Amino acid sequence: MNYILFDSEVRTSLLPFTFTRPVGEIRVGILTLKEKWEDYLKTELSYETESYLEIKYSLVLREDNLFIDPSFLPSPELLAEIQAIAPETALFSNSTLVAYRSAQPKSEEMVRELQRKETGLDLIRIQNTWDIFSKNGVALQLDYKRITEGRKSAPIPASNRVICPENIFLEEGAKVEYSILNATEGPIYLGKDSEVMEGNMIRGGFALCERAVVKMGAKIYGPTTIGPYGKVCGEINNSVIFGYSSKGHDGYLGNSVLGEWCNIGADSNNSNLKNNYAKVRLWNYATESFDQTGLQFCGLMMGDHSKTAINTMFNTGTVIGVNCNIYVPGFPRNFIPSFSWGGASGFSTYHTRKAFEAAEVMMARRGKTFDEKEAAILEHVFEITKKWRKY
């Protein structure tokens, strides 16, 4: 069987993160959504996604294909139902398409014409940007159990103060010294060759992915995930950083999501709670308005390659697009379109030539190359986001 992950209607509600990646590349818990499905299916998966993303995320079609919406978290029960789907049949959950089996990708209307099955399972789905952090605890627990089951952790150095060591797992090469690790409320996972420097206080659930670093003196509240090659410090609460991004200094980040290749300047802070304790509204790309999240705590959503200067401040429920550079003192507005340059006193367009120069340097620092594929994707994002830039 050939398995393909398809982008459903939730792609729009997961912008700005899906401007630069398919839904399956979103990280929640320890692994990306694609990595979770590949672990369950024990095979490599391809994508059916936006045409401009196909140069990096290709589609592999065969005679018989199972198309899966990766926004649903996998489970043994769901996997069994998906693998039992007959040809030209679709699996739904409360009228929402979960998976279908076909020789070719099908439109939503065509899928409705297939033989229909309904699952009675209670499924977990990542369908809004704020789900990435609000459901991170559940996803982290599921990933931790699956990754560590039947395995033995590397030794935890004696210099640390440890609470519930049975819920702590260190991969090969992970380093942690003279820190407090409290896994009472959730597991703590330190990935391969990751490092927790001295003097840190970490309360699980917490995942530090491969080669990521917690610098000295951080205070981290779970459930929080730091993706591969990330670098963090300061105070962090219930946040997800996809990978290759830095919040390397003091300052607060709470109930937030950062994409890849982001950088948060020293002493930058975000608000995650309104002064009147009202529920938070967040920019919705589909409705082009600020819609209710239903959450009292909701902080910053920052797309790939965006950066802030020192002492930058963000209001509750701020959405920042791709390739933004924010440096002017004061609170900028709650929605900053992609390729914006400036801050509270106003913005101008951050043109691709300058943006790509910065991306090339930052990626080189992590041993990665800013190539023609990356440039083409970002050029397309620049064009399709023009309508939101009024400057």
Query: Which residues fall within 8 angstroms of residue 387, CB to CB, at 6 or more apart?
Result: none
CATH assignment of the domain containing 67:
3.90.550
Q: Which among 340, 362, 364 is positioned nearest to 352, based on CA atoms?
A: 340
pLDDT at 250: 97
| Residue 106 sits in the same domain as residue 138 | no
Within 13 Å of residue 306, how many CA atoms lie on the same side as its CB?
Answer: 30
Is 51 a member of any domain?
yes
Can you give the residue range of the structural domain that contains 98?
Answer: 2-118
DSSP sequence for 196-252:
E-TT-EEESSEEE-TT-EE-TT-EEESSEEE-TT-EE-SEEES-EEEES-EE-SSSE
The model's pLDDT over 208-255, given as tens digits with 9 standing for 90+, comes to 999 999 999 999 999 999 999 999 999 999 999 999 999 999 999 999
Task: List % helix, strand, coil for the chain (3-state, nearest 5).
Answer: 20, 30, 50
Is 221 a member of any domain?
yes
| Residue 162 sits in the same domain as residue 249 | yes
Spatial distance between the Cα atoms of 96 and 69, rounded to a whole number of angstroms: 10
pLDDT at 385: 97
| Residue 194 sits in the same domain as residue 283 | yes
| Residue 136 sits in the same domain as residue 104 | no
Task: List beta partners, residue 203.
Answer: 182, 221
Of 91, 118, 145, at which residue does a domain stop? 118
Q: Is 44 within 8 Å of 256 (Cβ atoms)?
A: no
User: Which residue carries 């938070």 as its tokens?
Assistant: 280
pLDDT at 390: 87
Q: Phi, psi at residue 237, to the nearest 5°?
A: -135, 125
| Residue 106 sits in the same domain as residue 160 | no
Type of residue found at 123: L
| Residue 105 sits in the same domain as residue 139 | no
Question: What's the rounded mean pLDDT across residues 328-344?
Answer: 93
Is 126 a member of any domain?
no
| Residue 112 sits in the same domain as residue 137 | no
Is 125 a member of any domain?
no
| Residue 148 sits in the same domain as residue 94 | no
Q: Is 104 within 8 Å of 87 (Cβ atoms)?
A: no
pLDDT at 75: 97
| Residue 136 sits in the same domain as residue 112 | no
Spatial distance between the Cα atoms of 293 and 15, rounded to a whole number of angstroms: 15
pLDDT at 121: 96
- The CA radius of gyration of the chain, in Å to the nearest whole number, is 21
The model's pLDDT over 52-103, given as tens digits with 9 standing for 90+, comes to 999 999 999 999 999 999 999 999 999 999 999 999 999 999 989 999 999 9
pLDDT at 329: 82
Q: Is 256 within 8 Å of 293 (Cβ atoms)?
A: no
Is 226 exposed, middle or buried, given 0-12, 13-18 or 19+ CB atoms closer than 10 A? buried
Whether 383 shows a pLDDT value over 90: the answer reads yes
Is 319 exposed, middle or buried, given 0-12, 13-18 or 19+ CB atoms closer than 10 A? buried
pTM for the structure as a whole? 0.96
Is 258 a member of any domain?
yes
Type of residue found at 370: F
The model's pLDDT over 9-62, given as tens digits with 9 standing for 90+, comes to 999 999 999 999 999 999 999 999 999 999 999 999 999 999 999 999 999 999
Task: List beta partners, residue 84.
Answer: none
| Residue 97 sits in the same domain as residue 150 | no
Q: What's the distance, CA 229 to chain centroid?
A: 14
| Residue 98 sits in the same domain as residue 172 | no
Report how many domains make up the chain. Answer: 2
CATH assignment of the domain containing 368:
2.160.10.10
Is 124 a member of any domain?
no
Q: Band of the pLDDT at 108, cuts 50, 70, 90?
A: confident
pLDDT at 283: 96
Of 53, 85, 118, at which residue does a domain stop? 118
| Residue 112 sits in the same domain as residue 149 | no
Give the tokens for residue 177. Answer: 């010294």
Type of residue found at 241: I
pLDDT at 147: 97
Is 181 a member of any domain?
yes
Task: List b or e across 87-106, with b for residues whose CB sees 16 or more CB atoms inside 10 angstroms.
Answer: eeebbbbeebbbbbbbeeeb
Of 92, 118, 144, at which residue does a domain stop? 118
Query: Which residues fall within 8 angstroms of residue 291, CB to CB, at 6 or more apart?
Result: 281, 282, 283, 284
Query: Which residues fall within 8 angstroms of residue 99, CB to CB, at 6 or more apart?
Result: 66, 67, 68, 69, 82, 85, 90, 91
pLDDT at 258: 98
Is 123 a member of any domain?
no
